[in-house]
């Protein structure tokens, strides 16, 4: 976690999710850890394009990191036992999941051939509480 003056955040379009606040909420309201499929998040976030041997055209992902905002070396040092955080959004009264913390862990899990990672899933109400805008 970063200091209070520089909170860890995740950006999705114009929305900003405060990861430090999400972690505090999870600390205050413990819940069961679930397993989330690595392949689904790799596909959604195009993590397979971040490999060191990728030589295709640059791209601009809808969400997730691009080549200029991702550190593969850092990813390979992350703690895969620490649950990722998944937000629940509501779109047309339907839930939609968004990985807001753990992209580097997903990359490492992909690189190591893991099929799942531990995750905490926030409810839609909790997600609203950790969204800054």
How many other C-beta atoms lie within 10 A of the C-beta of residue 24?
Answer: 13
Tokens standing for 31?
A: 């819940």
pLDDT along the chain (133 residues), means of 10: 71 90 97 97 86 63 57 91 96 92 94 97 97 90
pLDDT of residue 69: 61
Q: Where are the domains of the chain?
A: 31-54+72-133
pLDDT of residue 80: 98
pLDDT of residue 2: 47
Q: Is 107 exposed, middle or buried (0-12, 13-18, 19+ CB in 10 A)?
A: buried
CA-wise closest residue to 99 among 61, 58, 67: 61
Judge whether 115 and 41 are in contact, CB under 8 Å: no
Cα dihedral 78, 128, 115, 81 sign: positive
In this structure, whether the domain defined by 31-54+72-133 belongs to CATH 1.25.40 is answered with no
């Amino acid at each position: 976690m970063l200091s209070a003056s520089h909170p860890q955040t995740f950006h999705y379009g114009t929305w900003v999710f405060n990861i430090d606040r999400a972690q505090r909420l999870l600390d205050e309201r413990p819940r069961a850890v679930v397993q989330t499929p690595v392949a689904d998040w790799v596909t959604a976030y195009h993590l397979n394009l971040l490999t060191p041997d990728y030589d295709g055209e640059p791209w601009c992902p809808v969400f997730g990191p691009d080549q200029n905002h991702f550190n593969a070396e850092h990813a390979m040092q992350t703690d895969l036992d620490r649950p990722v955080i998944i937000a629940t959004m509501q779109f047309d009264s339907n839930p939609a999941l968004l990985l807001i913390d753990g992209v580097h862990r997903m990359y490492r899990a992909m690189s190591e051939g893991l099929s799942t990672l531990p995750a905490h899933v926030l409810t839609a109400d909790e997600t609203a509480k950790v969204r800054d805008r």
